[in-house]
Amino acid sequence: MKKLCGAVFLFVMLAALLFGLHKATLNQTDEGCIQLADFYRLKDHTVDVLFVGSSHVYYSVNTCKLYDEYGIAGYLLASPGQPVWISYYFLEEALKTQTPKLVVFDICTLYRKENKIGTASLPSLISMKPSVQKWHAIRAANEPNKTLDSISAFFSFPYYHTRYVRSAAREQRYNGYKPDFRVISQKELEQWQNPDRSGFDQTVPISEKTEHYVRKLIELCQEKGIRMLFVNAPYLNQTKKKQTSYNYVFQIAQEYGIPYIDGNYVTEMNIDFSKDLLEPSHLNYYGALKYTRYLAEWIEVHADIPDRRGDLRYSGWEEASRRLQHTQLYRRMLKKQKRTGAFSDYMKTVRQLEECFVVIYQKPTGMVCVLDQGQMVFMERSKENYFRHFNLGSSDLVTTCSQGQASVWVDRKEYFRTEQGINVLVYDKVAKDVIDVAGFDDVESISAWSKHAE
């Protein structure tokens, strides 16, 4: 009896340890895992439009744009190269807590053969809670006779250590969306422009397993009374192999009466590959705005999706939009203005930003000016020693003067760009981070600072 009790106790302790590790590292993961981990935080029955698929989805659909301009509460459950069997089990998992009115399925990866995918999709399941769905997803993604891999992946054993190490550097997502402002290189653009389109109108069947799960995905939506839309986001590296497979998938969609949008053949989007791609396969932030606008307008016409703006239950979507504005767009505004090199122009832009804490200082004079949302809250013009602490909620800012030298620190890290000129540090309270530090050595900046400090 004692041995039995001991074994039971050991099992309970082990289970508790595994659950603790899983919970502690749930959100500290890579692409796809972040999207799924954040999904679990959503209020039940708030997602009206669920997007599933590969990186085509999380680079191409701007959920903030959907909500801000159309009131659509959308979420992206996608991961790199996500095969359809992962999309299927993600949808099963999602339907435990959400009741979407529309599922938008991106078909980008369906041209791939099963032996070209292997277990590469397993990492996308790290954040999935242990369940029957997770077990089936792992078995579908795993190679034959790899039971041990399935068991370890179920508890995320291979990933705990690296996930814990990377925990401090977790990236931001916005209801699944990943904004990227890079623009395709001229070399990549030239490599894929004007492809040979001979045979693009042909139809080639996809793999048996892929078709099986495409049909399961459709039939699951039909069973739950959920409308579907098949899409293919615009991309540059088109090939005959891809397009002939997509033609076959669109035939399946027609068989079930499902509408589809092939982004490469919709001129109304006005996609300019030289400006709207970050590389041959994915849209950048600017291309995503165009693609998202087109999808939103289609949804408005063809799907009965309510406008959720102003509804307190959907404050999370409004908050995601604010975070995108502050963490991404404000940074870009300041970076762009900084290129002009003009202190006055830079400060005009800074004054337009909401919920920002700004420090203007010159190291060798000990002069410091602190602005909170445009209002001066501290100024020191003396070379005498001083110390001032500001609690910014999630961060601490300290400005000091020691031996005639001014310093500014945020969370124990000193920030400055120029020893002799004027430094400007901008801390965003929504982003909860320093979003820019600029240095100006020109005569104008020194003169402007002197007038301001008088």
Q: For residue range 286-338, list pLDDT tens digits in order.
A: 999 999 999 999 999 999 999 999 999 999 999 999 999 999 999 999 998 88
Q: What 3-state DSSP class applies to 442? A: coil
* pLDDT at residue 433 tops 60: yes
d(CA 258, CA 251): 10
d(CA 241, CA 237): 11
Mean pLDDT of 162-173: 54
Band the pLDDT of 166: cuts 50, 70, 90.
Answer: very low
What is residue 275's predicted lDDT score, i.e. its pLDDT? 97
Range of lowest pLDDT (19-33, 169-183, 362-376): 19-33
What is residue 384's predicted lDDT score, i.e. its pLDDT? 81
Mean pLDDT of 192-209: 90
Is 270 or 29 the better-scoring residue by pLDDT? 270
Per-domain residue ranges of the chain: 24-309, 353-453
* pLDDT at residue 60 tops 60: yes
Residue of 270, 200, 271 whose CA lies nearest to 236: 271
Range of lowest pLDDT (346-350, 379-383, 398-402): 379-383
Mean pLDDT of the chain: 87
Sign (positive/negative) of CA torsion 172, 175, 176, 178?
Answer: negative
- Which pLDDT tens digit goes with each residue over 12-28? 455 555 555 555 544 44
CB-based burial, 4-30: b 16+ in 10 Å, e otherwise? eeeeeeeeeeeeeebeebbeebbbbbb
The CATH number, out of the four listed (3.40.50.620, 3.40.50.1110, 3.30.70.270, 3.40.50.720), of the domain defined by the range 24-309: 3.40.50.1110
* pLDDT at residue 79 tops 50: yes
Mean pLDDT of 54-64: 97
* pLDDT at residue 122 tops 90: no
* pLDDT at residue 454 tops 60: no
What is residue 194's predicted lDDT score, i.e. its pLDDT? 80
Mean pLDDT of 258-285: 96
What is residue 236's predicted lDDT score, i.e. its pLDDT? 95
Q: What 3-state DSSP class applies to 44? A: coil
Residue whose token pair is 């005639």: 404
Q: What is the β-pairing status of strands 260-262 and 227-232?
A: parallel
d(CA 154, CA 168): 24
* pLDDT at residue 248 tops 90: yes
d(CA 130, CA 189): 43
d(CA 1, CA 136): 36
What is residue 124's predicted lDDT score, i.e. its pLDDT? 78
Structure tokens at 330: 């404000």
Range of lowest pLDDT (3-7, 271-275, 301-305): 3-7
* pLDDT at residue 110 tops 70: yes
What is residue 116's predicted lDDT score, i.e. its pLDDT? 59
Residue 266 near residue 294 (C-beta atoms within 8 A): yes
Mean pLDDT of 256-284: 96
* pLDDT at residue 343 tops 60: yes
- The answer to whether the predicted template modeling score (pTM) of the entire model surpasses 0.75 is yes
Percent of the chain, pLDDT > 70? 83
What is residue 196's predicted lDDT score, i.e. its pLDDT? 80
CB-based burial, 276-287: b 16+ in 10 Å, e otherwise? bbbbbbbbbbbb
Percent of the chain, pLDDT > 90? 65
What is residue 171's predicted lDDT score, i.e. its pLDDT? 74
CB-based burial, 335-374: b 16+ in 10 Å, e otherwise? eebbeeebbeebbebbeebeebbbbbbbbebbbbbbbbee
Range of lowest pLDDT (110-119, 153-162, 366-375): 153-162
d(CA 122, CA 139): 10
d(CA 154, CA 139): 10
Mean pLDDT of 181-208: 91
Q: What angle is formed at CA 243 by the lines to CA 240 and CA 244, rounded to 5 degrees?
A: 80
Radius of gyration of the chain (CA): 26
- Which pLDDT tens digit goes with each residue over 142-165? 765 555 456 666 776 554 444 443
Band the pLDDT of 167: cuts 50, 70, 90.
Answer: very low
What is residue 27's predicted lDDT score, i.e. its pLDDT? 42
Residue of 259, 286, 285, 282 whose CA lies nearest to 270: 286
What is residue 357's predicted lDDT score, i.e. its pLDDT? 95
φ/ψ of residue 366, rounded to 5: 75, 10
